[in-house]
Structure 1
């Protein structure tokens, strides 16, 4: 345990050094400077270098298909978008929503981060665009079901109501094309910290926000060096043994409850770790998040469940151009 904490502390220390380097202006040229590559390599764990920092193979296999293709699914599950926070990857999510359609769309909690918005208002245009895109999908015939989480728990009081063709449910049951019954719930009700030590959950959320800030700077550097998105924050989190044990206990609690409810498995979010696996005879599915993993759970028309990682933009936003003021012509 002590060794794990020391290891995580070492990684965080190097992350701070890296973010200090990122504070230099783009005009200084650090993006193309070989020393930037060296700094990136020095930050990596033993046995890795900047050239090999690609996402895991399962993420590579799940990269988006050829540009401008529209994929159609029976169902899509999204959670932990955290609109209202700087860590939200709204640009990637908009790109995903543009290129993927479904008969059903489940929003599995923490869509809007009420915790952060109470501390300070942050709502750029891209976050508003995400809300408008979701409402547009609902108007065009997609069945959108919103299952609130702990960060947007205020919406739970509207269970059973519909807003803009989006239906709010505390939990839902999804039946796949193969007949499997899946219990859909955010998962925070099975998190002992959230339920019994709310102050500790708020403290952890504040520290997590700091790590996500480093993650944004880290990936800005990776983009300048031509590398795809890679979650620094997720890597750091999974180096701590207690975090790994917590995730394992959470997964077990979720599938046990799904079995008790007469379901064949569970679809949840909350812990920001996308995964599909059989556990104790039950199907455990976590759709990940849109601050670290950039992932969604999808069901194909044949009933196959897959994790899709959207770490490459098919339609990158156009670079901002400065408008030159035209000199007034006087006669």
Structure 2
């Protein structure tokens, strides 16, 4: 499908039945189009801030304005979450996007709660807050406007160049040490990008975004995620160098993760685009996952283990030293500036 990452739409792991589309029936039913339109599904959440206790994740609070992601990255570890809405982690994940309405209003309500304790909030922990739909929905921008008013610290993870639209808000947040950004860089090869993450910004566009954010005073790091054996791992040093030249201050990486349905979708992608090395890629992944295609243990799931994973770690450490970047450990943002702004009716309460 043009502009889409997944090659199929398999039933999710909870579905009681599985459907296979016959080629002739598809032609008759008009389902053979090589394009699929994006479907927007509105959802009004009862809460907007998610809490996290995973020991290998560097944040305790996060907000995901969207469920599903139009970027269509074939490797996305968040794909299996679409199963909870009885949708496929395949094409459904990138074509049926659940958009959280009234998100800024809900965030303000939660920040005003008497029991709220200020900690940084991460935008983009699961799906990208600057995916294409954000251009019209503007949910992420509205959330940032609330955070600026409350002086709530925020970190952002994205591969979307649309983030530069919000430079005015990000620059002011950064001036008060309330903001940092991680730009996800997977490859410097535009051709690989087109199949690996079809609707994400191109490599040069992301590097330009790093420069613009840096010039505006926003602390920027780069996240090499994921590193895939025999697909993009050879670019590790080049990505670090290019990111440092663009102004990145820090870097981190994540070894490819293939939970649940992602392993099937990723293997389909390999067989289609890299049939000559597909088995070698999967063999190296298994070697780095204790003989399995995925290891969910905390600590191991992000880095892998064994000789190949150790080599990646050594190369990454040397690249950081060579190009003067620090390791991504999470920039210390200020929480002492947090303040609940007055709202209509606050003064009248003094006389009751």
- Superposition TM-score, scaled by structure 2 size: 0.31
| Greater relative contact order structure (CA < 8 Å, 6+ sep) | 1
- Superposition TM-score, scaled by structure 1 size: 0.32
